[in-house]
Amino acid sequence: MTSETSFDMRRTTVEDIPSHMELMQSIPEFEGSSTSEQSMKRTIDRGTGRSYAIWEGDKMVSVVSTTAENTQSAMIVGVGTREDHKRKGYASELMIKICEELINEGKIICLFYDNPEAGKIYQRLGFKKIGLWNMNVY
């Protein structure tokens, strides 16, 4: 990490959900997401997902989450960083943290993305492209 700014990385809690939602809504890629505070709370309560965030002072500036977690696997979702905090290595640090934790738990990691900038980070961290996927919403 080469950031000159000090930061705090920690696993998020139910109390962090409003900050998490505000961060995600500030990122154009996630604007209009249908994720609700209630569904985020349910994910934390049930243990079917987790999030780690980087804070600068009292402001959440970068986040990574999992969903669809079970005893064997987890899907990484919602990797995002505020525009004015990009290029500090935050997304990479969060990805390393959550991937190490999942691997230590013996879980297979799944990741879907369509953002080429994000793809460069994932590939640099060792993720391999295995194909293209499409999702139809009816």
CA distance 120 to 117: 5
Inside any domain, residue 13: yes
Q: Is the pLDDT of residue 110 over 80?
A: yes
Inside any domain, residue 3: no
Number of folded domains that form the chain: 1
pLDDT category of residue 135 using cuts at 50, 70 and 90: low
Q: What is the pTM of this model?
A: 0.87
Inside any domain, residue 61: yes
Q: Is the pLDDT of residue 1 over 50?
A: no
Across the chain, mean pLDDT equals 90
Q: Is the pLDDT of residue 105 over 70?
A: yes
**Which of 59, 61, 93, 65 is CA-nearest to residue 78?**
65
Inside any domain, residue 56: yes
- Partnered with residue 81 across adjacent β-strands are 62
Look up the CATH number of the domain holding residue 21.
Answer: 3.40.630.30
State which residues form the domain around 110.
8-124
42-50 mean pLDDT: 95
CA distance 44 to 63: 15
Task: Please state, for a pLDDT cut of 70, what percent of the chain lies above it.
Answer: 94
Please work out, in degrees rounded to the nearest 5, the angle formed at the alpha carbon of residue 134 by the alpha carbons of 130 and 138.
Answer: 155
